[in-house]
Amino acid sequence: MSKWMLVALVVLLVVTPVTSGTLRPKDSASPNETPLADAGLDQEVKKGATVLFDGTGSRDSDGRIKRYNWSIRTPGNETLGPDCPTCARTRFTPNEIGRYRVTLTVTDDSGTTSSDTLYVDVASGTGPTISLSGPDRPDVGSTVNYTANLDSGAASLGYVVWTADGIVIANHTLSADQQSDTASKHFPTAGERTITATVYDTDNRSSTASISVDVRTDPPDESPGTNPSIANRSSPTVTGDKIVTGGEPLRGEYSVRLDAATDSIDSIRWRNAAGRVGTGRSITRTWEPGDHELYAVVTYTDGSESVATFADGTTTVVADPRPNVSVTSLDGHGSISGSVTGIDEYRNLDALAVQIDGETVATARPTRRGHRRFDFDRRRQVHFSHTDFTPGERHSVTVVATDERGQTTRVSRDLVPVKQPEVVRSEFVNDPVDSYHSRIDPKRYAAHHVLEINLNGVEPSNLSISTDHEDEFIKVLEDGAYTREREYSNGNLLVHTYWAGEKPKEYDLSIHLSALSPSKETNWSSRYSDSFKVTPSKPELRLNIVNDGTKKYITREHGILVDATRSFDPDGTNLKYIWKYGAEPTKPDNTTAKFSAYERAASIVEDQYDLRTKRNFDFLNYFVPDISESTALGDGPHYQNETVRVRVQTEPYHFSKQTYYRDFSLGISVSNPAASVVEWKTVEASNSRHSEPTEDAYRYVGIVEIPAEILSTASGRPTVTIYNEQNTRKRVRTQIPEIGILVEDERYWSNVSVRNLTYLVEKHRVREVKVNDEQRRDELLEDGYRVQEVDNNTKYVLEEWTKVRDAKYEKVTKTFSDRRQRNMFLSSSPSWYRDGTVRKEETRTREYSKWFDSSTTPSPRRWFDSSLENGERTGATRRVQVESAEYRTLRQYRYDYEVQRTGTRTETRCSLRFGCRDVTVRYTYTVTKSSTYWASSSYGAGHTFTGKTKRRKVEDAVYETRFEVRYQTQFTELVTYFNVARDEQVQPAQYEWKAKASTMDYVAARKQARTSDSWRIATETVKRWTLVRNESTSSFWTSVYSNESEVVKTKAVVAGEFSKQYYNSKTGETVEKSGYRSVELVYPTAWRSEAIIEKLTKEQETNEWCEIKPACSEQGS
């Protein structure tokens, strides 16, 4: 090979890799392609098996994969990593059963990422295994050890439970790799037994092994002729509760019944399956639910022992508590629904039922055919939903749990359920309406909307109603009578609203209805749409009279100046003004016009919808002549009982046509309803002083009658109003003139004489009765008698000190939670005694917390409803590390490498031709150097580890914030209370003095009282009543009488001067009116002539006239 061919080959070898596609620089103008991640296929494995992950199938079309990152989410929602999270290939060993979510994220050389997910379903692996060894023929009274050989299988070991004939004798926790376990069993009695051991792993898989044991009885060791031991002569037994039921705690009291002498007993030891539990003749035990062993070992003074069992020869105690029930959730929106839980710790739950108002709506019972459902005999949950109820009424939800022993537990909750509200009607009841305008009657433009809702039990305060619209010309009315109004009746809610539109068109209204739960969460929501129409309205004609032409006298030149600028169109359009007949416009815009005084006219306004409003208008409707005169008729002053007549007349007027007189009419009214108009007519007016004497003038004249007493009060004079009957708003007024009224001030008699004086006399026949008894007196009083006289006498009563009532005692009790406290109290309180026990069923609560990841766990609404039964967020948070920081260990490696260098040196070279000379020669030599680097593994075979290491963080630790949710459960237990009592005297015996005898002889009474201190003398006042009654009555008139008390009336004829004094309300003068008067008067009882004359002459009859202002002021002065 030539030198140039070798150079070309070397160049080719060097250049070719540079020009390969994988190392060629990227075109900066082309976009980067996203890499494709490939985590592999889903896998199914057993727990404990190694799972391999391979991400090398990932690709990047325009570059290379630079980084791999594996992340695993466990079935418990925890995040962890495989053995090497950043390797393309890695492995992982699952330790939980369930589905794992494995995510691979790859990053290319441009920093773009892509992810792929696979799922690993982990099933249970092989379960644990167990075998037993130990003696199978132990002796009675011996304690034997049994050994269980264990193999963990796929999961770690958890614990092992030892039982003897179903009774637990040991429960041991195991380490993960423990290979054996040992338990001891004491055999107090002979017979066949079964020793069983069950091992459980962390996956709750189990394995069981048993060994049958025949416990033998040792033959008696007494030699012939010797006395048998005390044990052989005795048969003690245990008495007490073999079955303990009811609420927890489950307590039983036990004692040994001995048939040997007490002085032959050395000791008594109580034992259960686990060992000694007490000493003495009696014992009290608190049992956990389940089957237990209990017996007593009696040791005698001769060293022999007996085992005391129950009378039937068994040692088993059954502790079976009453089932516990709880209402897990309860909801009453739309249906009465929820879930309940029943738990029986003895595992014999038979039935769980839910009742609503006594009717069973859901039940759960075990499957009788075959075998029970898993865990039904301990715990059962029932979900129920009931829709047959009356909304808004209170219903009772009762949960009933029953076990196979017949024990029953009940828990009740009251609930007021509701259903979704129903819209009965939603409509506008009065459309179409006119356009809105503030100057027209709201009845014309107010669109009345009615929304009627059947609440179905929902509280009105929990119902939200909102309206919305998208039209700028619609408005809601909120003034006066047109405001939003709610009415609630018979379970229905009626909502009235009022709307208006500013322009003629159809308006749409959207109504949103939502019902809220007590926790203010929306449960139901619905939307309705309604519309109302606004039609074009006629324009409104508004006229203002600038000058009505009636200032002085009416002539042919007079007219009415009318202004129509206040007219408007409710629809907002411009108006056109039109005047007709006797109306002439006075402005260019036609807004004002002058009406002829003697001709009819018309005013018309027209809007842009061609709608018109017209009013016929003439002078007569606006003309009312002034009142020229208001005069009282007749001579005054007037008395109050008289009627005053007042003449009222108008100013003269004249019309150009006779027809106008027929069309023109005036009315008259008086402000006081007691007044009346007796005459009202038109008459010719003479001397009218008209500008044209040829025109005949007329006026209205009327007569008004008013009671004079109205004019005498201080309330003011009445007003007379004259008005145009065609236009009542056009009117004139005047007051009734001031008129003098004579108001009565006082009256009196003088020169009085009395004659014909007679008396009415009544004479009675009287019957008299005397009694000592009050009851008899009262009977006579009811029969018409009256008491005439009362006599008082003294009676002496002998009284004895006598018990009338025994002492009264009440039972006072105290309650203690345990027997020991009660016994301590009784030992220090001798007046108290035992009063039995009381068992009460009490519902108690237990609270616990759970923590949730705030970034991945949603917060359902039930966590904010203030109910701990379904969880409640407490607000507490904590930061928890879910992934540790990842570090990589780097090692330091050293390697040697050669460096080729070039140098020069001087050599002496000789030749025959030129001889010797020094020549500088360039030469090449190799130098060895050392270098180090940090890496996880060696880059080459000759690279050696220096022994130095360091850690480099490749991934930060991952933390998550968790929040706390607090839960609460309920359980029911039966609590035993121990009572003591004593009798306390609340009322002493009562003694009273009791009357035993009475006498009117004081000496005899004192003699008896001295015989004993228990006697005493009391005195009583004895009354004697004299009663009388009129048996008959005779009456007659006479001029003389003998007994004044028999006179009933006096009658006489009185004559003399009778005077009245009056006050003139107008002038203030006083007027007196006198005259002779004769009158017959009747007085009660007896009166003499002198007394009658004195009464009449000194007595003045007065009236209250101070309400007349002049009189009041004069009286005050």
Tell how many helices (H) and how many strands (E) occur in the chain. Answer: 10, 68
**pLDDT for residue 656:** 62
Please check whether residues 587 and 610 belong to one and the same domain: yes
Query: Do 583 and 640 lie in a common domain?
Result: no
Are 416 and 394 spatial neighbours (Cβ–Cβ below 8 Å)?
A: yes
The encoded tokens of residue 804 equal 């009338």
Same domain, 519 and 563: no
Q: Render pLDDT for 938-977 as a digit per residue (tens, 0 to 9).
A: 877 788 888 888 887 767 777 778 888 887 777 777 788 8
Residues 334 and 399 in one domain: yes
**What is the mean pLDDT of the segment spanning 715-727?**
86
Tell me how far apart the terminal alpha carbons of the chain are, to the nearest angstrom: 163
pLDDT at 559 over 70: no
Q: What CATH number is attached to the domain comprising 249?
A: 2.60.40.10
| Same-domain pairing of 475 and 570 | no
pLDDT of residue 449: 93
Residues 584 and 672 in one domain: no
Instruction: Using alpha carbons, select from 332, 329, 319, 388 the residue that is nearest to residue 359.
Output: 388
872 inside domain: no
Residue 776 counted as domain residue: no
Write phi, then psi, for 911 (nearest 5 degrees): -145, 155
For 1067-1101, how does the pLDDT look when each residue is reduced to its tens digit (9 = 90+)?
A: 878 888 888 888 998 999 899 888 888 888 876 54
Domain boundary among 739, 766, 797: 739
Least confident span in 31-35, 465-469, 821-825: 31-35
Strand residues in 936-1014 grouped as ranges (E): 944-955, 958-987, 990-999
Domain boundary among the residues 534, 567, 591 is at 534
107 within a domain of the structure (yes/no): yes
Whether residue 611 is found in the same domain as residue 633 = no
Find residue 1101's DSSP bridge partners: 747
758 within some domain? no
Q: Based on the structure, what is the number of domains in the chain?
A: 8
Q: Can you give the residue range of the structural domain that contains 478?
A: 422-534
> Is the domain of 510 the same as that of 597?
no
Residue-level pLDDT at 366: 62
Kindly give the pairing relationship between strand 143-151 and strand 180-186.
antiparallel
C-alpha separations of 303 from 298, 389, 654 in Å: 10, 75, 155
Looking up residue 551, the CATH number of its domain turns out to be 2.60.40
pLDDT digits (tens, 9 = 90+) for 572-616: 899 999 888 778 888 888 888 887 655 667 888 998 888 898 887
Nearest CA among 732, 725, 547 for reference residue 650: 732
Same domain for 570 and 661, yes or no, is: no
Contact 290, 314 (CB under 8 A): no
1058 falls within a domain:
no
- Give the whole-number percent of the chain exceeding pLDDT 70: 87
Beta-strand relationship, 1015-1038 and 786-805: antiparallel
- Round the average pLDDT of the chain to a whole number and report it: 81
Which of 354, 383, 415 finishes a domain? Answer: 415
**Cα 35 from Cα 687, distance rounded (Å):** 123
pTM over 0.75: no
Q: Do 527 and 587 share a domain, yes or no?
A: no
Residues 443, 454: contact at Cβ < 8 Å? no
Same domain, 381 and 488: no
Comparing CA positions, the residue from 418, 417, 421, 419 lying closest to residue 514 is: 421
In a domain, 381, yes or no: yes
Per-residue pLDDT reduced to its tens digit, 183-221: 888 888 888 889 999 988 877 788 999 999 888 876 555
Specify whether the backbone of 491 is left (phi greater than 0), alpha (psi in -120 to 50) or beta.
Answer: left
Shared-domain flag, residues 466 and 379 = no
Is 494 part of any domain?
A: yes
What is the pairing mode between strands 643-650 and 697-707?
antiparallel
Instruction: Check residues 941 and 111 and name the one with the higher pLDDT.
Output: 111
983 domain-assigned? no
